[in-house]
Amino acid sequence: MSALGTALVTGASRGIGRGIALALAAKGFNIAGVATRHAPGDPEDNLEKLRREVEALGRECLPVAGDLSDLAAHQAMVEAVIGRFGSVDVLVNNAGVAPLVRADLLECSPESYDRVLGINLRGPFFFSQTVAKRMIAQVEAGLAPPRMVFITSISSRAASPNRPEYCVSKAGLSMTAKCFAVRLAPYGIPVFDVQPGVIATDMTAAVTEKYDRLIGEGLLLTPRWGTPEDIGRAVAALAEGSFDYATGSVIEVGGGFGVERL
């Protein structure tokens, strides 16, 4: 069976990004997986593990090493994907980091702020700009309109004063998704903002006890942690075109976190 196209997933080596990449491969997309590091041939390398898993699903996988905070590297990263697959049919902006230290708002350092904003917001903003220009060229060449998905967070709306730089970065990324939805609409390119809730990943491992307690106290309508597979299934539905008319939408995948209750 021929591929549905090529999905470029940033932060694909673990966690939510890996879950998304595998869900898209299962749907029929070839995968270009971006991560900061890649050790070709090393069976313990996370991108190499992803490559094997994607290939086991019958799809091709191109590992791409690159630091999204390094704007000068963006063009080469995109050209590597185009050189292998010929197009980018879905861009999933997933890469992101938490603060190295959860510090009170009044103690947040400029160094931590700049690091988180550089990776979570500035990098994806300009990487999407680079990919969007390529997507427009594809549409103008007569190819089917591609799609773009931003993985933000419920933290774009819910304030956590012990990690304010993360919340600010995700709020900015959510607005970035809206801006791209407006700008790319004339080309028929849908753009979506997927907001994960409390997801079991390496990033949340340090606060397991806190969220176990909050979930037990009724934080979520669906009383369990989310998984990378939950996010992957949502992104796969968007990627295959089922929701193109909903461009610009915010899709919370958080077990009902955002439902206001009395």
The token pair at 26 is 């299962």
Question: What one-character-per-residue DSSP string does 109-131 give?
Answer: -HHHHHHHHIIIIIHHHHHHHHH
pLDDT tens digit sequence for 8-17: 999 999 999 9
Residue 203's pLDDT band, with cuts at 50, 70 and 90, is: confident
The per-residue pLDDT for 1 is: 63
55: which residues sit within 8 A by CB, 6+ positions away? 61
Is the pLDDT at 256 greater than 70? The verdict is: yes
Is the pLDDT at 208 greater than 70? The verdict is: yes
pLDDT tens digit sequence for 42-60: 989 999 999 999 999 999 9
HSE-CB at 131 with a 13 A cutoff on CA atoms is 34
Which whole number is the average pLDDT over 145-156?
Answer: 98
The per-residue pLDDT for 237 is: 97
DSSP class of residue 21 equals H
Which whole number is the average pLDDT over 227-245?
Answer: 97
Identity at 21, one-letter amino acid code? A
CA separation for the pair 160, 156 (Å, rounded): 10
pLDDT tens digit sequence for 101-120: 999 999 999 999 999 999 99
Nearest CA to 239 out of 231, 125, 80 is that of 231
Phi, psi of 150 (to 5 degrees): -105, 130
Is the pLDDT at 202 greater than 90? The verdict is: no
Is the pLDDT at 33 greater than 80? The verdict is: yes
The per-residue pLDDT for 168 is: 98
Percent of all residues in the chain with a pLDDT value above 90, rounded to a whole number: 95
Supply the residues annotated as catalytic: 166
pTM of the model: 0.96
HSE-CB at 246 with a 13 A cutoff on CA atoms is 13
Q: Among 39-48, 85-94, 151-160, 239-248, where is mean pLDDT lowest?
A: 39-48
Question: What one-character-per-residue DSSP string does 209-231 give?
Answer: HHHHHHHHTTS-SS-S-B-HHHH
Residue 254's pLDDT band, with cuts at 50, 70 and 90, is: very high
Q: Hey, what CATH class is 5-253 in?
A: alpha beta
CA separation for the pair 254, 224 (Å, rounded): 10
CA distances from 136 to 33, 143, 147 (A): 22, 10, 11
The token pair at 171 is 């709020």
The per-residue pLDDT for 191 is: 98
pLDDT tens digit sequence for 52-92: 999 999 999 999 999 999 999 999 999 999 999 999 999 99
HSE-CB at 15 with a 13 A cutoff on CA atoms is 20
